[in-house]
Amino acid sequence: MTSTTAEFTIPSQYKTDRRSPTRWVISHALHEWWILVVGLVGALGNAGLMALINVKIGEAFNVVAAPVFEPRALLNIFFAIIASGIGRGILQFGRNFGFEFCAQRIERNVRSELYASLLSKSMTFHNLQPVGDTMARATNDVREVNFLFSPGLNTVVGSLAFLIFPLVAAPRYHVSLMLVPALFIVLYFIVLRIYMRGLTPVTEEVRESFGALNIRLAESLDGIETVKGSAQEAAEISLFNRNITRYKNALILQGRKEARFLPLLLYGIALAAGLLHALLLFQRGLIDIGGVVGYFGLLLMLDFPTYSSLWAYSRISLGLAGAKRILELMNRENNLDQNAAGHAVPLRGEVEFRDVTFKYEGGQPVLEHVSFKVHPGQTVAIVGQTGSGKTSLVRLINRTYDVSGGQVLVDGVDVRDWNLENLRRNISIIEQDIFLFSRSIADNIAFGKPGAARGEIEAAAKAAQAHEFITSFTDGYDTVIGERGVTLSGGQRQRLALARAFLTDPRILMLDDSTSAIDSATEDHIQRAIYAAARGRTTFIITHRLSQIRWADLILVIRNGRLVASGAHEDLLRTSDAYRRIFNEE
């Protein structure tokens, strides 16, 4: 398995080889080897019995054409063909069952592996990766891997078995009759290789264009309020139609490639050449009429690999293209790791920045040479203009991002030396845009502490000033809220987020502009909850509200990524022009 750095190492079901799409698919298939053996036995047995049926049909012609007719011999052939037909049905069921069962199990395992990989990625990855593209890979591309096995590989293995037996059975009539099926097989694989080379980039474009289509769809739906508010429906439809056209053109190109499938021509030539060869041998007395009929029946078996290849290899090509896109997502590295053997003790809440510089990959510095120290239990207000680096600063504490230079220390230990899970379990972030799940209010509050008792949940809600509005709902704590909490007001969402933080009891609490869009009446409720939350915890508040700034133990003034002033409110009013400007603007 290729080693990739992951923010959290989530135990996988089994190791897979991620060095290439083909290796990765094979590593999944090998884990289901016994099911594939069932399918392979079914494929070979089915083809073998089909060859036997054609041989028996040839023998029946000889019995009928013989000077002395033997009904018993014809009856034996009849029963042999019936038995072979029944056997074929059972073996074909085994082949189809084996490959379909394998395909479904592999799809399940691929989905599980991809989901675990996505959860292990850092926020840097998720901030840069479009959600629509991720959904396309996690749904449609994974489904294409399923189709790679069934009907794709199922049909290919079955058809290859039908290629083998005409070559194996031909010598029973005359060894020279191996020539036509042998030449057909050689030319078939040469032409197929050329076909697949041309098809691969086309199927990759099909998958890429489908991903682009989903990106646009997800963005339009996610921003539907903005689209409608700006009356841009027509413009969005036009942009979406361009992506539809790209996807359509890719599918048309795939169809053109499939239409130029040369094995269809080879099959017709092989039938004609093989029949001519057999008739010449019959004319010379080297084979009988039954041999001509039986041999031609064997040649007819070549139709299955010829016609099925027209779409079966497209399924395999599309599956490998989907696997490539899934692997690209899973193999994308980030710079964070779980550090499972790292420092893991209860936090006190001391935070220190030592000459910290931070920049996003390939970008300009967001923070430069920032240094300060916060003692356990202090409340810190971070103020500054939009884009000055306030949010980036607090996200360095829980290693949402890693510093580019300097150190961030928690309780005197570099955050990179902490066990990441232990560190984050003791830090809670409440942002302006609160994310709530489409579950009950109780489940949302208990998200960070699964299995919490109802009494704990209610106590946390009361502390967050949320109990009153929750109990006003008909179903109370069992009320199911809409996606992202759209059925709740902004203030209600903020208080649920605070309740979630109370329940997990973090030693460090961060509030990122969490009251900027709240009216004065609601702010009063939230302000009381924040006061309660800050007691006994190290609290960072990113805010423009003077009511929150004034009571902070330490105020950090950030300007253009630099810490230009720090201290208490009254001190900064006397000593900092930058702070006074912010205060006057408010």
State the DSSP code for 362: T
> Which residue type is seen at 122?
S
Cβ 334 vs Cβ 360: under 8 Å: no
Rounded Cα–Cα distance for residues 20 and 23 (Å): 5
Rounded Cα–Cα distance for residues 162 and 309 (Å): 12
Give the residue among 263, 258, 270, 271 at the shortest CA–CA distance from 306. 263
Cβ 387 vs Cβ 401: under 8 Å: no
H or E segment at 369? strand 365-374
Distances (CA, A) of 415 to 98, 197, 456, 512, 562: 50, 49, 30, 20, 21
Confidence label for 350 from pLDDT (cuts 50, 70 and 90): very high
Cβ 501 vs Cβ 533: under 8 Å: yes
Mean pLDDT in residue range 472-494: 79
> Which residue type is seen at 539?
T
Position 523 scores a pLDDT of: 62
Question: Between the ranges 84-93, 253-262, 443-452, where is the mean pLDDT highest?
Answer: 84-93
Strand arrangement of the beta sheet that strand 427-431 belongs to: 427-431, 508-512, 538-542, 379-384, 554-559, 562-567
Confidence label for 2 from pLDDT (cuts 50, 70 and 90): very low
Orientation angle between helical segments 71-120 and 33-65, nearest 10 degrees: 160
User: Does the N-terminal peptide bond of residue 67 adopt cis geometry, omega within 30 degrees of 0?
Assistant: no
Give the residue among 306, 303, 292 at the shortest CA–CA distance from 54. 292
Q: How open is the CA angle 508-514-519, to the nearest 5 degrees?
A: 145
Percent of the chain scored above 90 by pLDDT?
33
Rounded Cα–Cα distance for residues 374 and 394 (Å): 12
Rounded Cα–Cα distance for residues 533 and 527 (Å): 10
Position 67 scores a pLDDT of: 83
List Cβ neighbours of 304 (8 Å cut-off, separation of 6 or more).
158, 159, 162
Confidence label for 341 from pLDDT (cuts 50, 70 and 90): confident
pLDDT in tens, 527-537: 666 776 677 78
Confidence label for 12 from pLDDT (cuts 50, 70 and 90): low
Mean pLDDT in residue range 384-411: 88
Cβ 118 vs Cβ 134: under 8 Å: yes
State the DSSP code for 385: -
For the chain, state the CA radius of gyration: 35
Confidence label for 520 from pLDDT (cuts 50, 70 and 90): low
- Whether the per-residue pLDDT at 516 is higher than 60: the answer is no
Cβ 379 vs Cβ 530: under 8 Å: no
Position 204 scores a pLDDT of: 86
- Whether the per-residue pLDDT at 422 is higher than 90: the answer is no
Q: Measured in whole angstroms, how far is the alpha carbon of residue 188 from the centre of its chain?
A: 36
Position 223 scores a pLDDT of: 73
Dihedral sign, Cα of residue 345, residue 348, residue 352, residue 358: positive
Position 176 scores a pLDDT of: 94
Cβ 166 vs Cβ 298: under 8 Å: yes
Give the residue among 132, 133, 134 at the shortest CA–CA distance from 121. 134
Which residue's structure tokens are 């935070």? Answer: 351
Q: Is 244 or 516 the better-scoring residue by pLDDT?
A: 244
Q: What superfamily would CATH give domain 351-585?
A: P-loop containing nucleotide triphosphate hydrolases (3.40.50.300)
Q: Is 25 or 505 the better-scoring residue by pLDDT?
A: 25
Position 329 scores a pLDDT of: 87
- Whether the per-residue pLDDT at 515 is higher than 60: the answer is no
List Cβ neighbours of 381 (8 Å cut-off, separation of 6 or more).
541, 542, 543, 548, 549, 552, 554, 555, 556
Rounded Cα–Cα distance for residues 389 and 366 (Å): 6
Position 149 scores a pLDDT of: 93
503's tokens: 């329940």
Give the residue among 91, 93, 87, 95 at the shortest CA–CA distance from 35. 95
- Whether the per-residue pLDDT at 438 is higher than 70: the answer is yes
Position 179 scores a pLDDT of: 95
Confidence label for 484 from pLDDT (cuts 50, 70 and 90): low
Range from 141-150, 329-338, 395-404, 415-424 carrying the lowest mean pLDDT:
329-338
DSSP string, 494-544: HHHHHHHHHHH--SEEEEESTTTT--HHHHHHHHHHHHHHHTTSEEEEE--
CATH topology of domain 21-206+260-331: ABC transporter transmembrane region fold (1.20.1560)
Cβ 151 vs Cβ 318: under 8 Å: no
Q: How far apart are the first and last CA of the chain?
A: 56
Q: Is 68 or 303 the better-scoring residue by pLDDT?
A: 303
- Whether the per-residue pLDDT at 188 is higher than 70: the answer is yes
Environment class of residue 469 by beta-carbon count within 10 Å: exposed (0-12), middle (13-18) or buried (19+)? middle
- Whether the per-residue pLDDT at 431 is higher than 80: the answer is no
DSSP string, 67-85: SS--HHHHHHHHHHHHHHH
Confidence label for 407 from pLDDT (cuts 50, 70 and 90): very high
State the DSSP code for 10: P
Position 434 scores a pLDDT of: 77
- Whether the per-residue pLDDT at 456 is higher than 60: the answer is yes
Cβ 341 vs Cβ 419: under 8 Å: yes
Confidence label for 1 from pLDDT (cuts 50, 70 and 90): very low
Q: Is 90 or 120 the better-scoring residue by pLDDT?
A: 90
> Which residue type is seen at 143?
R
Confidence label for 5 from pLDDT (cuts 50, 70 and 90): very low
- For the chain, the domains span 21-206+260-331, 351-585
Orientation angle between helical segments 179-222 and 263-283, nearest 10 degrees: 160
Position 8 scores a pLDDT of: 52
Mean pLDDT in residue range 377-393: 86
